[in-house]
Chains A and B, each alone.
Chain A
Amino acid sequence: MLFLLAGLGTAAPAQAATVEARVGFDGAVALGVPVPLEVQVVPGSERGRVLVVVEAPALGPLGRAVERTVVPLDAIPGVPQVVRVPVVVGDLREPLRIRVRLGNRDIAHTDLAVDPARVGSRMVVALSAVHSGLEILRRVPGRVVTAYVEPPDLPREWQAYLGVDLLILRDLDPSRLDRAQRDALVTWVELGGRLLVVARPGAPPPAFLDPLLPARAGQERVLETLPGFGSRFGAPLPQGPYPVVGLLPREGAGSLGEGTIRVLAWRPAGLGEVFLAGFDPWATPFLNWAARLRFWEEVLGRPRRPLVDPGPASSALAGRPAADGLSQAVVGLVLGAYLGALFVVRRARPSLGGAGLCLMVAALAIPVSLGLGREVRSRSVTLAQAAVVVQSPGAPVGRVVWVGVLTVPYGGPYHLRVPPGAVMLPSDVPRDRTLDLGGGQVSLHGTLRARVPQQVLVAVGAVRLRTAAALGPGGRLTVDLGGDRLLHAWVAFRGRVSLLGDLPAGVSVRELRGARWMTPEDAASASSDLGGPSFGFRLLGAGVIMKATTTPVLVGELARPLPAFEWAGRSVPGRRTTILLIPLAGE
């Protein structure tokens, strides 16, 4: 016994697990959109499967809610592991809580408060060795927060950039970015991101960004001033020198400079826009330039309203919760059969024995009722959803916003599979829910209350898609749908709609000159005369698809289904539609 006690006394003490976390870009976050979260777990002496649970509080009309993101890890004692997930910050008053769970107990946890000073309505992120120089952006209207990051901080999911209004790449060593980070960056730009790449003498732009760049890097030189800047931005630049990389603008790119010396170029890249600066905005003379704010305002651009707003989608998709018709019929039959059985038994045997038989019938009916009740409940679940895809012009990718309305009429648990690659966004009415990132498939589960049995689901993702449409001179519309077909197509422009009917796969041409432009309401009725009402009109009417588009947009229902929310284990009824939006380029 003494030896045993001595052994216990000399044994190494069990090491406690630790967890540390960082949220946002250098602590800067935007509310209500995914931001990167990095969690480092050191398991201590624990071994086996642990769960990293991120609890993000949110506040909505039904009170406080918590969205949990669960990531499984195989813990190896003492070996640090890093988990990176996008997380949505919805309530600044409560910290994010990160727990590390082994079985049913927490082995470590930490609270991560978001600094309100680091929350803005617009965010500028700079990958720069110099962590200053953007302070002037505080004078831009709207609350702009700036963040300086290192290459490892850049996210691996493009959706984690959704809160970023401008990303500046100044000192980027491409070898420090992995494939996922590069893909996320490129996808984000193609799907609406705004990027400024700084090319300085001796530091060419990263090659993986070359297809997006508006210009090629040319000859390096030193200039006394940046040509064209004084006249464009209203104030002369301080005396140089300005070491620059001359730019050779590509087709369709705008540029600033003088003669053949171009030092700033820009061009849309898909749904986004890319600027290439051949000079260093952190150079001392530039930092002293009086019109620097106007330069940054122009690069930052104005806040853009997206073509698709998932907010009002629930009104377009949701129906009144109802019991399943077949279940109701079965319930009616079963109740009728029960009554009939009682009647027949009591009529045939009007005695104590008959009453006893009726009790036996009732006893048999109880398990049947239990099973039937559960079946009615589960069969009444509906999941209506629309995937709205916006084709990125010139890029083989489309931005998808999935909007679903899950209805569990009598309340109860739900378990859904999230479309592959999609990231969940918060809905207008946040509820407690859990996102499980284990097993390679993201699943979403929670419980709906009976009196509020509907849950709006919003997710954003990308899909490989190559379609194109262009409006030529004289209103000639050329559409290339590749292998896809578009049903009930129409063109929307400045609040008016022109119906096109179904468009076949491949290239098709339609003349819009002389076409009848209607209000969406008139078009909805005309559309039903043409062979079926378009669900797109309902989304247009609800405001999901922007009505007053200043860019003409081709809209229609994509004939092929896209991945969508799935009820785990079986299919549930509910409308499923894919709406494709192609911004029309001018020829």
Chain B
Amino acid sequence: MRNPVLRGDVRARARSRKIRAIELFCVSALALLAFLGLPPELSQIEQDRQTGLVAALGVVLLVLVTYFASACAAGEIAVEGEKSAVDLLFAPFRPATIAAGKSLSSLLTVVYWILLGLPILVLAAAVRRTPLGDLMAVVGLAASAAWGIAQWGLLYSIAVESEFARTAVHWATLFLAFVLTLLLPAGARWVNPVVAVGSAAGGQVVLSAFVLYLGVGLLGWAASLLALGRFDGAS
């Protein structure tokens, strides 16, 4: 952790009561769902595996982690002791250092939360005979989608000054990602993270979705870097 911004954010998040509450909330939600979803499912005759519970847990994990990661990055949830990207411009850090540090701290947070939820997903996968490869695909997709959208949260924290406007744009982004993409033609609906996670739990290859979310994240990160550079030049 040579990046001072990353080091500072990780320490702040490790100490934060809000972050602790968020991670316990996420894990508790998963645990409750896993417990309630334990009885076997009987509805569709053709399917060989009961992927419903694993898909449901994957979707809940995806939605919670994506929201909380992007909200923290956008400053909608203010983490105690964590400085915003714009504030860090007044410290002797280059915009690239700030953008990289913020992005990596988002990634580490996402991965940490997912790892805490992983035992519950493994339990559901073991009960429902979901192959661990499919489970890993679910987890990878959730991580890439959460990180990708969090990068846009980072951009909003830099480019949108008004807190209300920032929250509105953040929610609009989530609405676009999770709801409006459902209006796409059936062949392109894999763009929706929930659809992609559900497909991954059912054993379908979703490499394109994974690449897409990474691309969306890199785009958001590049835009954040650009916005920071402009902000730095202006100040």
Residues of A at the B interface (CB closer than 8 Å) are 62, 320-323, 327-328, 331-332, 334-336, 338-339, 342-343, 346-347, 350-352, 354-355, 358-359, 362, 365-366, 368-374, 376-377, 380, 409-412, 449-453
Which residues from chain B contact A338 at a C-beta distance below 8 Å? Answer: 27, 31, 119-120
Interface segment out of the listed B36-44, B154-162, B202-210 = B36-44
A505 to chain B, nearest CB (A): 43
CB distance from B228 to the nearest CB of A (A): 26
Measured in the bound complex, the distance between the Cα atoms of B45 and A411 in whole Å is 12
Most buried by B among A321, A328, A362, A377: A362
**A336 surroundings in chain B (CB, below 8 A):** 31
Of B62-70, B98-106, B122-130, B183-191, which binds chain A? B122-130
Cβ B50 vs Cβ A450 within 8 A: yes
Hey, which chain B residues are within 8 Å of A451, CB to CB? 41-48, 50
A-B pairs with the 4 shortest C-beta distances? A373-B126, A365-B119, A409-B40, A369-B123
CA distance A434 to B28 in the complex (A): 44
SS of A interface (majority): helix
List residues of chain A with CB within 8 A of the CB of B23: 342, 346
Collect the chain B residues with CB atoms within 8 Å of residue A380's CB.
40
For A322, what are the chain B residues with a Cβ–Cβ distance below 8 Å? 39-40
Known A358-B116, A409-B40; further 5 A-B contacts with Cβ < 8 A: A351-B11, A352-B10, A359-B115, A411-B49, A450-B47
B24 close to A (CB within 8 Å): yes
Residue of B whose beta carbon sits closest to that of A352: B14
Residues of A within 8 A of B48 (CB): 411, 449-451
Contacts of A343 in B (CB 8 A): 24
Residues from chain A with a CB closer than 8 A to the CB of B120 are: 335, 338, 369
Q: Can you sample 14 A-B contacts with CB below 8 Å? A: A321-B42, A335-B34, A338-B119, A339-B24, A350-B17, A352-B10, A369-B122, A370-B123, A410-B50, A411-B129, A450-B49, A451-B50, A453-B40, A453-B42
A346 proximity list for chain B (CB < 8 A): 20, 23-24
Complex: A346 Cα to B28 Cα, angstroms: 14
B231 within 8 A of A: no
Per-residue CB contact flags for chain B residues 2-27 toward chain A (1 = under 8 Å, else 0) read 00000000110011010010011001
Does B112 have its Cβ within 8 Å of any Cβ on chain A? yes
Please, how many angstroms separate the alpha-carbon atoms of A410 and B52 in the complex?
12
Contact of A355 among B31, B44, B112 (CB under 8 A): B112
Residue of B nearest to A335 (CB): B31
User: Taking chain B's interface residues, is the majority helix, strand, or loop, or is none over half, making it mixed?
Assistant: helix
Q: Is B175 an interface residue (CB 8 A)?
A: no
A362 touching B119 in the complex, CB below 8 Å, given contacts A352-B14, A354-B14, A372-B126: yes
Nearest B residue (CB) for A322: B39
Report the bound CA distance from A334 to B122 in whole Å.
Answer: 13
Q: How many B residues, CB 8 Å from partner?
A: 40
The distance in angstroms between the C-alpha atoms of A452 and B43, with both chains bound, is 9
Taken together as a complex, chains A and B put the C-alpha atoms of A346 and B112 apart, in Å, by 13
Question: Does B126 contact A377, Cβ atoms closer than 8 Å?
Answer: yes
Q: Is the CB of A350 within 8 A of B42?
A: no
How far in angstroms is the closest Cβ of chain A from B121?
8
Give every chain A residue within 8 A of B14 (Cβ-Cβ). 350-352, 354-355
Residues of B within 8 A of A450 (CB): 40-41, 47-50, 128-129
Q: Known interface pairs A335-B31, A350-B15, A377-B126. Does A366 touch B118 (Cβ–Cβ under 8 Å)? A: yes
- Complex: chain A residue closest to B119, CB-CB: A365
In the bound complex, residues from chain B placing their C-beta under 8 Å from that of A365 are: 119
- CB proximity to A under 8 Å, residues B110-151: 112, 115-116, 118-120, 122-129
B35 within 8 A of A: yes
Inter-chain CA distance A335–B37, complex, in Å, is: 13
Q: How far is the CB of A487 from chain B (nearest CB, A)?
A: 33
Return chain B residues, CB-CB under 8 Å to A359.
112, 115-116
In-complex Cβ contact of B38 among A323, A350, A369 (8 A): A323
- Give, as a whole number of angstroms, the nearest-CB distance from A429 to chain B: 11
Residues of B within 8 A of A331 (CB): 34-35, 38, 123
Which residue, of B17, B43, B119, has the highest number of chain A Cβ atoms within 10 A?
B119
**A342 to B42, Cβ gap below 8 A?**
no
Cβ proximity bits B174-213 to A, threshold 8 Å, 1 near / 0 not: 0000000000000000000000000000000000000000
The residue in chain B whose Cβ has the minimal distance to the Cβ of A372 is: B123
Do A410 and B129 form a contact, CB below 8 Å, given A354-B14, A355-B14, A370-B122? yes
CB distance from B172 to the nearest CB of A (A): 32
B49 CB to closest chain A CB, in angstroms? 5
A382 to chain B, nearest CB (A): 11
Residue of A nearest to B46 (CB): A451
Q: A409–B48 Cα gap in the complex (Å)? A: 12
Which of A351, A372, A411 is within 8 Å of B50, CB to CB? A411
Could you tell me the distance between the alpha carbons of A320 and B118 in the complex, rounded to whole angstroms?
Answer: 30
Given contacts A410-B40, A450-B129, A451-B41, contact A373 B50 (CB under 8 A): no
Cross-chain contact B129 with A412 (CB below 8 angstroms): yes
Give A62 Cβ to nearest chain B Cβ, in Å. Answer: 7
On chain B, the residues within 8 Å of A62 by CB distance are: 45
Q: Which residue of B lies closest to A327 (CB)?
A: B38
Interfacial chain B residues near A449, Cβ < 8 Å: 47-48
How far, in angstroms, from A377 to B127 measured CA to CA in the complex?
Answer: 6
Q: Is B41 a contact partner of A369 (Cβ separation < 8 A)?
A: no
| Complex contacts, A332 vs chain B, CB 8 Å | 35
The verdict on A328 contacting B38 (CB below 8 Å), with A410-B50, A411-B48 known, is yes
Contacts of B40 in A (CB 8 A): 321-323, 380, 409-410, 450, 453
Q: In whole Å, how far is B27's beta carbon from the nearest beta carbon of chain A?
A: 6
Q: Known contacts A451-B41, A451-B48; is A339 also within 8 Å of B35 by CB? A: no
In the bound complex, CA of A409 to CA of B39 (Å):
8
- Residues of B near A369 (CB, < 8 A) are 119-120, 122-123, 126
What's the minimum C-beta distance from B201 to chain A, rounded to whole angstroms? 13
Please indicate the chain A residues that have their CB under 8 angstroms from the CB of B50 in the complex.
410-411, 450-451
CA distance in complex: A377, B126 (Å): 8
**Chain A residues closer than 8 Å to B47, beta-carbon distance:** 449-451
Q: Is the CB of B122 within 8 A of A335?
A: no
Q: A342-B116, A373-B125, A377-B126 are in contact. Are A351 and B15 (CB under 8 A)?
A: yes
Give complex CA distance A60, B124 in Å.
32
Kindly identify which residue among A323, A371, A377 contacts B129, using a CB–CB cutoff of 8 Å.
Answer: A377
- A366 engages B112 (CB within 8 Å): no
Q: Across the interface, which residues of B come within 8 angstroms of A350, CB to CB?
A: 14-15, 17, 20
Q: Are B49 and A373 in contact, CB atoms less than 8 angstroms apart?
A: no
Most chain-B Cβ atoms within 10 A of its Cβ — which of A327, A409, A451, A453? A451
- Contact assessment for B38 and A342 in the assembled complex, using a CB-CB cutoff below 8 Å: no
